[in-house]
Amino acid sequence: MSTNAKVRVATVWLSGCSGCHMSFLDQDERLVDLAKKITLVYSPLVDVKEFPENVDVTLIEGAVANEEQLAMLKKVRGRTKILVSLGDCAVTGNVTALRNSWRHSDQAVLERAYKDPADLNAAVPTAVPKLLIKARPLHEIVKVDFYIPGCPPHADLINYVLTELLAGRAPVMEGRSKYG
Amino acid sequence: MSTNTVKLKIDGVDVTAAEGTTILKAAKDVGIIIPTLCSLEGLTAYGGCRLCLVEVSGTPKLFPACTTPIGPGMDVTTQSDKLKEYRKIAVQLLLAERTHICSVCVADDHCELQAMANQLGVDHVMFERNWSREEIDSTHDFLVIDRNRCILCTRCIRVCDQIEGVHTLDLKLRGKDSQVIMDLDEKWGNSCSCTSCRKCAKVCPVGAIYVEGEPIEHTKKRDVAEFIVERRNRK
């Protein structure tokens, strides 16, 4: 990565609770240093609608649970040099994927959410993206370059990975990360 | 007691130990710790988890250190890139086989499988996960078994049989379908042999057997078998 130009970083929020993004913000004052080195070109934290081209590093929170997210993930992968799975939903499926243990879990979970508890006009909404049969971690769909496990991952760990990547080094997770 | 001793090398260190000693024990006695999951001091060896695989020079085959006796002139390697890769695969296969979700598990942060993943630098599972849905039995007054978290190490079965002496727990079926059962596959609450001693919950390396409502760090006492065996052998 060039040392002069700012590094183009994006973050994406798929099926997760946003806790990983909260943990990202928990880098606190280190965000000031980070802001000197990066441009946040796309994120739930900034107002950009379309995922841009030529992104250097993208952190993705959340599992892939529906067709819209599936398309988004593929688009992001195509436009990003280094893709990082941020947090357990992205890394393992985690809570988002708990439904996977049920057969036809896409239908089962919709019925449990919209039909079972309803007193009147019980119906599954049709205006939302179609659920995939299984919620899946990112690397089962696209190539992922680095993983930051944790629910949520510690801000120090996120900062470590970003610092290493910005320095042009590969982060070493052994003895640092906490699985699950 | 047999006084026959065997000389061998473990990681380049000259070791002398009694004939019949396992590689795992001989290594431990000279301070070389080989990673294990199913092995537990005080219980018989099982050789199920494959974490303790070691290299023995002269053969391409890997040997489980917990069940392989030492031999004269053996040259054992316990740490290498190849072994580390195999150990990482073993941990990933365990994580993929059943539905291990640390964030909703009672044993999060007190789990030997999770600790082993961290130690080996397993930050994701490369295999597609099985998403099994096994039976949870909470019919006992306070002991619960969640088979989704079971790694089939059989520590609970061995401690129940060899230390408590009642053999309530056993295994049914084979391979990935294997299940820990009570008596002749009864609900735990209906078991006529279970003494409710909790040793199964104490030694379980993961969150598969736990005491309802009790903090996991109070339940886990993984050296209970070693402790009881040592006390029994006091004359």
Q: What is the ipTM of this complex?
A: 0.90
Residue A110 is assigned to a structural domain of this protein: no
pLDDT tens figures, A99-127:
999 989 999 999 999 999 999 989 988 88
The backbone region for A153, taken as left when phi is positive above 0, alpha when psi lies in -120 to 50, beta otherwise, is beta
Domain-wise residue ranges, chain B: 5-79, 102-232
Q: What is the pTM of this model?
A: 0.93
- Give the DSSP H or E segment for A75: helix A67-79
Q: Using an 8 Å Cβ cutoff, are A63 and A135 in contact? A: yes
Structure tokens at B165: 């002496």
Whether A180 maps to a domain, the answer reads no
pLDDT (0 to 100) of residue B228: 97
What domain range is A88 assigned to? 7-103+133-166
Within a domain: A83: yes
**Residue A60 counted as domain residue:** yes
Domain-located, residue A46: yes
Is A175 inside any structural domain?
no
- Mean pLDDT per 10-residue section of chain B, whose length is 235 residues: 85 96 97 97 96 97 97 97 97 96 95 95 94 96 98 98 98 96 98 98 98 96 96 91
Point out the residue among B100, B119, B123 whose CB comes nearest to the CB of A147: B123
Total number of domains in chain A: 1
Assess whether pLDDT exceeds 90 at residue A3.
no
State the pLDDT at residue A98. Answer: 94
Residues of B in contact with A151 (CB under 8 A): 102-103
As a whole number of angstroms, the distance between CA B144 and CA A123 comes to 37
Q: Would A111 be classed as within a structural domain?
A: no
Q: pLDDT tier at A175 (50, 70, 90 boundaries)? A: confident
Q: Which two tokens stand for residue B225?
A: 């078998």
pLDDT tens-digit map of A122-171? 998 888 899 999 999 999 999 999 999 999 999 999 999 999 999 999 99
Q: Look up the CATH architecture of domain B5-79.
A: Roll (3.10)
The CATH class, in words, for B102-232 is alpha beta
A92 → closest Cβ in B108, B120, B125: B125
User: Which residues, at least 6 apart from B222, have a Cβ–Cβ distance to it below 8 Å?
Assistant: B40, B112, B202, B203, B205
Q: Out of B103, B109, B121, whose CB is closest to A175?
A: B121
B196 neighbors B155 (Cβ within 8 angstroms): no
**Judging by beta carbons within 10 Å of its beta carbon (0-12, 13-18, 19+), is residue B61 exposed, middle or buried?**
exposed
What CATH number is given to the structural domain containing A54?
Answer: 3.40.50.700
Cβ of B123 within 8 Å of Cβ of A172? The answer is no
